[in-house]
């Protein structure tokens, strides 16, 4: 006798004014028609554009622990509205751990069906194209910024090492100096150590000494 496949149900609405009751009723009835054993219902109220959803994290964790075999969703946009790249990652991750994903509103979405592998591959390809275009836009923007003389990255910090040395000789602690100069203590000490190494270099010392 074949083992009964276990199903988890994922429900999501975006606002507190909405309810997951209709989704749950339909998906429970669908699971019964498919002969699936319902083992877990995950539900949450959160925007599908967010990737830090608690219930979604539990869905993925449960899949990795093989707590269920099939994930039933009301529609693809209930799983995610973060873009096709995120959607591809979720489907690939679930498929990789052996979990079948099925959508009630989109019968064509069945990752264990005949087009399941092709579907995930297409999603992944579109996501890779989106990433490539994003990288191109970033590199192009960086090039334009450099041409315009705009500094990229974190603001450069200028540390007056002579002032730091004078404060240290006066007995101030690194923390007191950092607060006074409005610089993180770790950054201050890193600059000071780098400056000390530079000044202790024999070639630098020879340059500072008169001929």
Q: Are residues 37 and 87 in the same domain?
A: yes
Question: Is 89 domain-assigned?
Answer: yes
Question: Is 151 domain-assigned?
Answer: no
Q: Determine the Cα angle at 27 with ends 25 and 28, to 5°.
A: 65
Q: Are residues 13 and 58 in the same domain?
A: yes
- Residues annotated as part of the active site: 14
Among 128, 152, 177, identify where a domain stops.
128
The predicted structure's pLDDT at residue 156: 59
Answer whether residue 108 shows pLDDT above 80.
yes
The predicted structure's pLDDT at residue 99: 96
Q: What range defines the domain where residue 73 resides?
A: 6-128
- Measure Cα distances from 165 to 160, 173, 187, 192 in Å: 9, 11, 15, 8
Among 112, 128, 144, identify where a domain stops.
128
Residue with the two structure tokens 């269920």: 68
Question: Is 140 domain-assigned?
Answer: no
Q: What is the C-alpha end-to-end distance of the chain, expressed in Å? A: 96
Q: Are residues 28 and 115 in the same domain?
A: yes
* Model confidence band, residue 202 (pLDDT cutoffs 50, 70, 90): low
Q: Are residues 201 and 121 in the same domain?
A: no
Residue with the two structure tokens 């276990």: 6
**Per-residue tokens: 174:** 């690194």
Question: Is 153 domain-assigned?
Answer: no
The predicted structure's pLDDT at residue 207: 39
* Model confidence band, residue 59 (pLDDT cutoffs 50, 70, 90): very high
Question: Is 120 domain-assigned?
Answer: yes
Most confident of 65-79, 125-139, 170-184: 65-79
Instruction: Please check whether residue 113 is in contact with residue 130, taking contact to mean a CB–CB distance below 8 angstroms.
Output: no
Most confident of 20-24, 122-126, 145-149: 20-24
* Of 64, 65, 98, 75, nearest in space to 26 by CA: 75
Question: Is 196 domain-assigned?
Answer: yes
The predicted structure's pLDDT at residue 112: 85
pLDDT in tens, 25-51: 999 999 999 999 999 999 999 998 888
The predicted structure's pLDDT at residue 192: 78
- Average pLDDT, integer, range 170-186: 84
Name the pTM for this structure.
0.59
Give the CATH number of the domain where residue 104 resides: 3.40.50.1390
* Model confidence band, residue 85 (pLDDT cutoffs 50, 70, 90): confident
Backbone angles phi, psi at 69, to 5 degrees: -110, -25
The predicted structure's pLDDT at residue 205: 45
* Model confidence band, residue 197 (pLDDT cutoffs 50, 70, 90): low
- Average pLDDT, integer, range 84-90: 83
- Average pLDDT, integer, range 159-165: 76
The predicted structure's pLDDT at residue 206: 47
Q: How many CA atoms within 13 Å lie on the side-chain side of 35?
A: 4
Sheet of strand 100-103: strand arrangement: 37-45, 6-13, 70-73, 100-103
The predicted structure's pLDDT at residue 62: 96
CB atoms inside a 10 Å sphere around CB 70: 22
């Amino acid at each position: 006798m074949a083992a009964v496949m276990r199903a988890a149900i994922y429900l999501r609405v975006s606002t507190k004014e909405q309810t997951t009751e209709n989704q749950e009723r339909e998906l429970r009835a669908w699971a019964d028609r498919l002969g699936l054993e319902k083992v877990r219902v995950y539900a949450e109220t959160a925007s599908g554009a967010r990737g830090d959803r608690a219930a979604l994290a539990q869905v993925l964790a449960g899949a990795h622990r093989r707590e269920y075999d099939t994930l039933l969703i009301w529609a693809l946009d209930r799983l995610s509205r973060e873009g096709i790249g995120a959607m591809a990652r979720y489907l690939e991750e679930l498929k990789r751990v052996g979990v079948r994903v099925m959508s009630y509103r989109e019968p064509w979405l069945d990752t264990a069906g005949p087009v399941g592998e092709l579907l995930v591959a297409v999603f992944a390809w579109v996501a890779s194209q989106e990433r490539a275009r994003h990288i191109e836009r970033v590199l192009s923007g960086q090039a334009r910024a450099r041409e315009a003389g705009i500094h990229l990255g974190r603001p450069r910090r200028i540390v007056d090492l002579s002032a730091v040395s004078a404060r240290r000789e006066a007995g101030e602690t690194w923390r007191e100096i950092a607060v006074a100069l409005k610089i993180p203590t770790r950054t201050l000490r890193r600059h000071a150590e780098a400056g000390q190494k530079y000044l202790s270099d024999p070639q630098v010392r020879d340059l500072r000494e008169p001929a």
